[in-house]
Amino acid sequence: MNIISFSCPIMTKQKFGLTVKKEEDFSEWYVQVIIKGEMIDYYEIKGCYVMRPQGQFIWKCIQKWFTEKIEEAGVQECYFPMLIPKSMLEKEKSHIENFSPEVAWITKCGNEVLGDPVAIRPTSETIIYPSFSKWIRSHRDLPLKINQWCSVLRWELHGTLPFIRGKEFLWQEGHTAFLTKEESDEEVLAILDLYSRIYEELLAVPVIKGRKTESEKFGGADYTTSIEAFIPGSGRGVQAATSHFLGQNFSRMFDIKVDTDEGSENSSFVYQNSWGITTRSIGIAVMIHSDNLGLVLPPRVAMTQVVIIPCGITSSSSKDDAERLKMYIGKIQAQLKSSGIRVYVDDRNNVTVGFKFNHWEIRGVPLRLEVGFKDMEGAEACLVRRDTRAKRQISVEGIDQTVANEIDTMHNDMLARAISERDSRISYAKNFEDFISALDNKNIIMAPWCGIDECESTIKSRSTKLGPNGSVISTGAKTLCIPYDSKPCSGLECVSCGKQAIHYTLFGRSY
Ligand code: AMP
Ligand code: ZN
């Protein structure tokens, strides 16, 4: 028989806190932050995670915001099956080449070995486009714009990391078809803009918009655009979302075409886009904002935005006093709630106030209201920010507006800090020595580059750090994107091969 022992939470407080510092062991710190902050839990299969309510809430906020925006643009919601017949998956050559190492196949059901194994979607182009071929007949069926929210499965071979690189992860995938390339091009950028707004307006994370190089583009796309974020703690870049122009690559393979002149033999293949953002976005926000006390949640998307903690009630407080304080707090709670602020009162009487502070700090709740007898007498409360831990007395008069303003101020401050940190860590490199030293100082790098595939792989191998026994200590730098707002580099030489540079390109170690 198992003996379960319950220990007093105060006695075991140490265990609840983080045991490593962000600046000392970033990877271990990150995992502790999301586990102890109750964002995610482990699961039996490596690379698969349990999404807890705190994490799922943020995803819901992203879903809600994005759905509203794409609906305005005429995108409709659908749901397609998760299984792909082999023949479909293999239709577009570069697509399957790109994905095949990560595709999981169902080969056996019960005792029966399947003659035709089916794949579990790593992405749904090849599931959705046979339907496009049926649904699109004339130019009047265009544009066709659909989106689905689902999970996909990519059997990631390299290090998995909660949120950032999972085997199964949640995302939305948009799939659209247009008559002209111009309309298609325009949408690619409009979606990229919405993605960057998710990061900036909801998660307080700055991103850089750009185009992927040929070797980094999506398998089957003519070109891929992306937004890239920077993780100061590890000095790495991370692809934050992508929007692809598929051109006519899939429409030719899946026979998706329209008659251009009614009644004529002429027909043309449609132009297509696909675009996706995943739960990686949550991991990026956690990595950027959290600190050595635990999670720091972006206040606009936090499940609990304000926690109210009654203070000063002791065993010697009179019942009446305690009751009056409770009512005072109840009024504050109702006022905040009526303004749509997500508020929780921690009125547990079996733990200390200090324990409650730690409890909510490690869970990243953006604002804390400490309310004691003195505050009540002065018709005030003490407001404490999770990010700066700054404290100030505020009046109960208009407290909902004060708190709402603080949520916005906190959001803006977090974004501003992330921008200034990132900008101070983007190095301009003229030569390869600069490049390597910037990389080793945990920077990402803007460098003039020739645009040649082989040069990109050379840069990767030249910047890979090997240990004495030949093991890889740090992976090499790769191109993150060619930023849309990068300055011209005419007349400059490529940072690695010395040939003529064609654009300033963003490089970095990355996730
Ligand atoms: P893709 O369909 O390959 O363009 O992927 C879309 C987006 O998914 C990328 O921009 C990444 O931000 C994200 N992503 C890719 N792989 C993973 C993964 N294993 N786990 C979580 N997010 C991912
Ligand atoms: Zn070069």
> What was the pLDDT predicted at 470?
85
Tell whether 91 is covered by a domain: no
β-strand pairing of 426-428 with 380-385: unpaired
Residue 155 and residue 209 in one domain: yes
Question: 433 CA to middle of ligand 1, Å?
Answer: 32
> What was the pLDDT predicted at 315?
84
Domain edge (last residue) among 379, 408, 437: 408
Give the largest Cα separation in the chain, rounded: 92
Tell which one of 126, 169, 198 to mutate to probe ligand 1, the residue whose CB is within 8 A of the most ligand atoms.
169
Question: 446 CA to middle of ligand 2, Å?
Answer: 14
Residue 194 and residue 281 in one domain: yes
Beta strands in 234-387 (DSSP E): 236-247, 257-259, 267-269, 271-278, 306-310, 343-345, 367-371, 380-385
Residue 453 and residue 371 in one domain: no
Average pLDDT, consecutive stretches of 10 residues, N- to C-terminus, the chain (511 residues): 40 70 98 98 96 98 98 98 94 89 96 95 97 96 98 91 97 98 98 98 98 96 98 98 98 92 75 98 98 98 98 90 96 98 97 97 98 97 98 98 98 98 97 96 97 96 91 92 91 96 96 95
Q: How many domains does the chain have?
A: 3
Computed over every residue of the chain, the mean pLDDT equals: 94
Ligand 1 within 6 A of 241 CB? Answer: yes
β-strand pairing of 223-231 with 236-247: antiparallel
Ligand 1 within 6 A of 162 CB? Answer: no
Looking up residue 399, the CATH number of its domain turns out to be 3.40.50.800
Counting from 1 in the atom list of ligand 1, the atom nearest the Cα of 242 is: 10
Residue 343 and residue 258 in one domain: no
Give residue 258's identity as a one-letter amino acid code. V
Residue 285 and residue 311 in one domain: no
Going by C-beta distance under 8 Å and a sequence separation of 6 or more, which residues neighbour residue 112?
A: none
Tell which one of 148, 199, 280 to mutate to probe ligand 1, the residue whose CB is within 8 A of the most ligand atoms.
280
- How open is the CA angle 223-450-454, to the nearest 5 degrees? 80
Residue 277 and residue 319 in one domain: no
Tell whether 15 is covered by a domain: no
Counting from 1 in the atom list of ligand 1, the atom nearest the Cα of 238 is: 12
Residue 72 and residue 195 in one domain: yes
d(CA 256, CA 271): 9
Measured from the alpha carbon of residue 280, the closest ligand is 1
Residue 202 and residue 66 in one domain: yes
For residue 208, give the 3-state DSSP assignment.
strand
Beta strands in 416-502 (DSSP E): 426-428, 444-449, 465-466, 472-474, 478-483
What are 209-221's pLDDT values in tens digits? 999 999 999 999 9
CB 244 within 8 A of CB 274: yes
Tell whether 100 is covered by a domain: no
Question: 482 CA to middle of ligand 2, Å?
Answer: 14
> What was the pLDDT predicted at 36?
97
Going by C-beta distance under 8 Å and a sequence separation of 6 or more, which residues neighbour residue 303?
A: 53, 54, 57, 58, 297, 342
Question: 493 CA to middle of ligand 2, Å?
Answer: 8
d(CA 140, CA 135): 11
Measured from the alpha carbon of residue 212, the closest ligand is 1
Ligand 1 within 6 A of 463 CB? Answer: no
Packed helices 53-72 and 181-197: angle between N→C axes, nearest 10 degrees = 140
Ligand 1 within 6 A of 132 CB? Answer: no
Looking up residue 483, the CATH number of its domain turns out to be 3.30.110.30
Q: Which residues surround ligand 2, an ion (CB under 5 A)?
A: 450, 455, 494, 496-497
What are 502-511's pLDDT values in tens digits? 999 999 999 9
Ligand 1 within 6 A of 175 CB? Answer: no
Residue 279 and residue 382 in one domain: no
Q: Whose CA is nearest to atom 9 of ligand 1?
A: 241
Q: Whose CA is nearest to atom 22 of ligand 1?
A: 280
For residue 184, give the 3-state DSSP assignment.
helix
Measured from the alpha carbon of residue 453, the closest ligand is 2
Tell whether 71 is covered by a domain: yes
Q: For residue 387, what are the domain limits?
A: 306-408
Measured from the alpha carbon of residue 244, the closest ligand is 1
Looking up residue 79, the CATH number of its domain turns out to be 3.30.930.10
Question: 23 CA to middle of ligand 2, Å?
Answer: 34
Counting from 1 in the atom list of ligand 1, the atom nearest the Cα of 226 is: 10
- Tell me the whole-structure pTM to 2 decimals: 0.95
d(CA 396, CA 375): 9
Residue 230 and residue 323 in one domain: no
Residue 265 and residue 331 in one domain: no
- How open is the CA angle 281-507-94, to the nearest 5 degrees? 75
Residue 386 and residue 238 in one domain: no
Measured from the alpha carbon of residue 462, the closest ligand is 2
> What was the pLDDT predicted at 220?
95
User: Locate tokens 């043309």: which residue?
Assistant: 268
Tell whether 115 is covered by a domain: no
Ligand 1 within 6 A of 510 CB? Answer: no
The string of DSSP letters for 226-251 reads EEEEEETTTTEEEEEEEEEEEETHHH
End-to-end CA distance of the chain: 45
Tell whether 127 is covered by a domain: no
188 φ, ψ (degrees, to nearest 5): -50, -45
Q: Whose CA is nearest to atom 6 of ligand 1?
A: 276
Counting from 1 in the atom list of ligand 1, the atom nearest the Cα of 283 is: 21
Tell whether 294 is covered by a domain: no
What are 175-201's pLDDT values in tens digits? 999 999 999 999 999 999 999 999 999
> What was the pLDDT predicted at 1?
39
β-strand pairing of 367-371 with 380-385: antiparallel
Interface TM-score (ipTM) > 0.90: yes
> What was the pLDDT predicted at 14?
47
CB 332 within 8 A of CB 396: yes
Tell whether 494 is covered by a domain: yes
**Closest alpha carbon to 244 in 347, 146, 173:** 173
